[in-house]
Amino acid sequence: MPPLALALVIAAALLHALWNIAAKKAGGGAHFMLIVAVTVVVLWSPVGLWFAWHAIPHWGLAEWGAVAASAAVHVVYFSTLLAGYRAADLTVVYPVARGTGPLLSSIGAVLLLSESMGAGGAAGVIAIALGVFLIAGGPGLTRRARDPAQRHRVALGIGWGSATGAAICAYTLIDGYAVKVLLISPILVDWMGHALRVPLMLPASLRDRAGFRPALHSQWRHALVVALLSPLAYVLVLYAVTIAPLSHVAPAREVSMLFAALIGGHLLGEADRAWRLLGAACIAGGVVALALG
């Protein structure tokens, strides 16, 4: 991977971990998602509209289809992620999601794109499985097995994290195709995606109109942080994809799990931080091995 691409991925990883901390602390749902999407569209409109003015008149069915599919999958991703954060610890949901995403992407590449996986890739799969075990509590799982409530919380975290990882795999492949094959600007992919998400999110918020004002009052600060950092982090990743293989960038960006395991355990007071940090390191090593193998 070129040094510039690696630098972009590392910077994006830190930003990604930080906005996930904000999303976890917000504890939001459908209203929070809508507030974030609208805030992104407004904040980034000068740049987004400039790119749109020059590119959209030349779009065809493929470009519109890719951006629309990306928007839909991102709604599923964000909904699943926030549901996981409400149900379990960030230091379970986040690393499992970020670990399974590249794992599923690699499996999809082998099955659908006829790519091969060498010994390094197989080692990466084993490292990810070990990392998931450690993040879930490692040896402490034996102790937790006697606590049904905690065992249930860990299981929820792994389940929601895995579902989020599947969504990550889907949007990674879609957006990678958009910037590498269709040559759509990464900024436009992200900004148009947020704009198209707004009508998809409106029905859920309209069903609970009374709850929107309290959500806006209590969550707008966290939404602002997410709206500032999330697009920047993702655009950096998409720019890295334009100068490096997607199969390298997607796993490498999971170093964000190291930041999240450390920051989340410290700021949110979640238990078993040492085991989870070790597990995050295993997953990070595993996804790098997948990229190299």
Cα–Cα distance list, 12 to 17, 245, 254, 282 (Å): 9, 17, 10, 20
Q: What is the mean pLDDT of residues 65-72?
A: 93
Residue 232 pLDDT level (bands cut at 50, 70, 90):
very high
Q: What is the pTM of this model?
A: 0.77
CA angle 135, 139, 144 (to 5 degrees): 85
Average pLDDT, stretch 145-167? 79
In this prediction, residues 28-38 reach a mean pLDDT of 86
pLDDT band of 268, cuts 50, 70, 90: very low
Residue 55 near residue 188, CB atoms below 8 Å: yes
Residue 257 confidence (pLDDT): 65
Residue 190 pLDDT > 60, yes or no? yes
pLDDT surpassing 80 at residue 136: no
Look over the chain and give the mean of its residue pLDDT values, rounded to a whole number: 80
pLDDT band at 109 (very low <50, low <70, confident <90, very high): low
Q: Check: CB of residue 280 under 8 Å from CB of residue 93.
A: no
- Which band of pLDDT confidence, cut at 50, 70 and 90, is reported for residue 41? very high
Residue 114 has pLDDT above 80, yes or no: no
pLDDT band at 236 (very low <50, low <70, confident <90, very high): very high
Q: Which residues contact 110 (CB under 8 A, 6 or more apart)?
A: 116, 117
